[in-house]
Amino acid sequence: MNEITLIKPDDWHLHFRDGLMLNETVKATARCFARAIVMPNLVPPVTTGEMVAAYRDRIMAARPEGSSFEPLMTLYLTDKTTADDIKAAKKAGAVAAKMYPAGATTNSDAGVNSLDSLFPVFEALAENGMLLLIHGEVTEKHIDIFDREKEFIDRHLVRIVEKVPSLKVIFEHITTKDAADFVMSAREGVAATVTPQHLMMNRNDILDGGIKPHNYCLPVLKRSTHQEALRNAVASGSNRFFLGTDSAPHARHKKENACGCAGCYSAWSALELYTQVFEELNALDKLEGFASLHGPDFYGLPRNTETVTLVKEDWQVPDSIILPDGDPIVPFYANQTVRWKLK
pLDDT at 114: 81
CB 293 within 8 A of CB 34: no
Mean pLDDT value across the chain: 96
pLDDT at 165: 98
**Closest by Cα among 274, 236, 248, 232 to 329:** 248
Prediction pTM value: 0.96
CA–CA separation, 214 and 55 (whole Å): 27
Interhelix angle 22-30/49-61, rounded to 10 degrees, is 80
CA triple 140-144-147, angle to 5 deg: 100
| pLDDT, tens digit (0-9, with 9 covering 90-100), for 257-299 | 999 999 999 999 999 999 999 999 999 999 999 999 999 999 9
**Cis geometry, peptide bond prior to residue 219 (ω within 30 degrees of 0):** yes
Query: What CATH number corresponds to the domain at position 129?
Result: 3.20.20.140
Is 198 one of the annotated binding-site residues? no
Work out the pLDDT band at 104, boundaries 50, 70, 90.
Answer: low
Average pLDDT over residues 191-200: 98
CA dihedral 197, 202, 206, 210 (to 10 degrees): -140
pLDDT at 117: 87
- For residue 111, pLDDT over 80 is answered with no
For residue 226, list its beta bridge partners: none
Work out the pLDDT band at 189, boundaries 50, 70, 90.
Answer: very high
Is 250 one of the annotated binding-site residues? yes
Q: pLDDT exceeding 90 applies to what percent of the chain?
A: 94
Tell me the C-alpha to C-alpha distance, in Å, between residue 297 and each of 63, 130, 239, 284, 304: 25, 14, 9, 20, 11
- For residue 116, pLDDT over 90 is answered with no
H helix intervals, the chain: 22-30, 49-61, 83-91, 119-127, 148-152, 158-163, 177-185, 196-200, 204-207, 224-235, 252-255, 270-280, 284-288, 294-299
- For residue 148, pLDDT over 80 is answered with yes
Q: Hey, is 112 helix, strand or coil?
A: strand
Domain assignment of residue 108, given as a range = 3-342
CA–CA separation, 125 and 309 (whole Å): 37
| pLDDT, tens digit (0-9, with 9 covering 90-100), for 128-142 | 999 999 999 999 999
| Active site (annotated) includes residue 246 | yes
Average pLDDT over residues 79-92: 97
Is 294 one of the annotated binding-site residues? no
pLDDT at 181: 98
Q: State the total domains in the chain.
A: 1
For residue 14, list its beta bridge partners: 38, 247
**Closest by Cα among 56, 45, 152 to 95:** 56
Average pLDDT over residues 100-117: 77
Q: Hey, is 96 helix, strand or coil?
A: strand
CA–CA separation, 229 and 181 (whole Å): 9
Q: Hey, is 327 helix, strand or coil?
A: coil
Average pLDDT over residues 143-167: 97
Is 341 one of the annotated binding-site residues? no
**Cis geometry, peptide bond prior to residue 44 (ω within 30 degrees of 0):** yes
Is 41 one of the annotated binding-site residues? yes
Tell me the C-alpha to C-alpha distance, in Å, between residue 185 and each of 180, 189, 233, 297: 9, 11, 12, 19
- For residue 194, pLDDT over 70 is answered with yes
CA–CA separation, 246 and 20 (whole Å): 20
In this structure, the number of other CB atoms found within 10 A of the CB of residue 87 comes to: 15
Is 214 one of the annotated binding-site residues? no
Is 17 one of the annotated binding-site residues? yes
CA–CA separation, 105 and 119 (whole Å): 22
Element (H, E) at 39: none
Cα Rg of the chain, angstroms: 19
Q: Hey, is 104 helix, strand or coil?
A: coil
| pLDDT, tens digit (0-9, with 9 covering 90-100), for 31-70 | 999 999 999 999 999 999 999 999 999 999 999 999 999 9
Is 199 one of the annotated binding-site residues? no
Question: Which candidate in 246, 285, 314, 319 is catalytic?
Answer: 246
Work out the pLDDT band at 113, boundaries 50, 70, 90.
Answer: confident
Judged by average pLDDT, the poorest of 91-95, 105-109, 144-148, 282-286 is: 105-109
